[in-house]
Amino acid sequence: MFTRSELEIKTIQELRDLCRRYGIKPTGNPGYKTSFITSLMAFPYLALQQMKENRGLKPPSFANFQSFACGLDEMGIPTDEQSALIRITMEGRKMSYPERYEQSQLMNLYKAKLLLEQLIDLLNQ
């Protein structure tokens, strides 16, 4: 990500600002440029290593991944009438009360279904 020569020409303040920008702590004494440079050069590789070790952000287990797919299957697909209501809702049209609340629920359920489909697609990559 960063090269040593790219970082060596920066001042301590510029290095400190880079560390703050990415949320990285300097290794060792923050009075030396090397502390910042070491951290800035190492963090991308450390982040990937931590993921491989299942620390921090990690992919879900196969069983949990199957649960997402089961949830998606359980949600079903909208009927023709539900699809029509979703389309007209996306155009900004609202039903009168109290049906507006249920219209909103249908729309939220549809959005959740789309997001769940995106989640499964992203995890399959």
Could you please report the per-residue DSSP string of 3-20?
-HHHHHTS-HHHHHHHHH
Please check whether residues 71 and 46 belong to one and the same domain. no
Name residue 85's amino acid: L
Count of domains in the chain?
2
Q: Does any domain span residue 39?
A: yes
Q: Does any domain span residue 8?
A: yes
Does an H or E element contain 21, and which?
helix 12-22
Please check whether residues 43 and 66 belong to one and the same domain. no
DSSP state of 123: H
- Measure the CA–CA gap between 67 and 90, rounded to whole angstroms: 29
Q: Which residues of the chain register pLDDT less than 70?
A: none
Q: What is the pLDDT of residue 88?
A: 93
Q: What is the pLDDT of residue 47?
A: 93
Q: Does any domain span residue 116?
A: yes
Name residue 24's amino acid: I
- Measure the CA–CA gap between 19 and 32, rounded to whole angstroms: 13
Q: What is the pLDDT of residue 105?
A: 94
Q: What is the pLDDT of residue 124?
A: 87
Q: Quick check: 65 and 57 in contact, CB under 8 A?
A: no
Tokens of 64: 């949990």
Domain residues for the domain of 10 are 4-52
Please check whether residues 37 and 72 belong to one and the same domain. no
Q: What is the pLDDT of residue 58?
A: 83
CA angle 110, 63, 109 (to 5 degrees): 10
Q: What is the pLDDT of residue 104?
A: 94
- Measure the CA–CA gap between 58 and 54, rounded to whole angstroms: 6
Q: Does any domain span residue 57?
A: no
Please check whether residues 38 and 74 belong to one and the same domain. no
Please report, in angstroms and rounded to a whole number, the separation of the first and last CA atoms in the chain: 23
Q: What is the pTM of this model?
A: 0.68
Residue 71 neighbours by CB under 8 Å, 6+ apart: 116
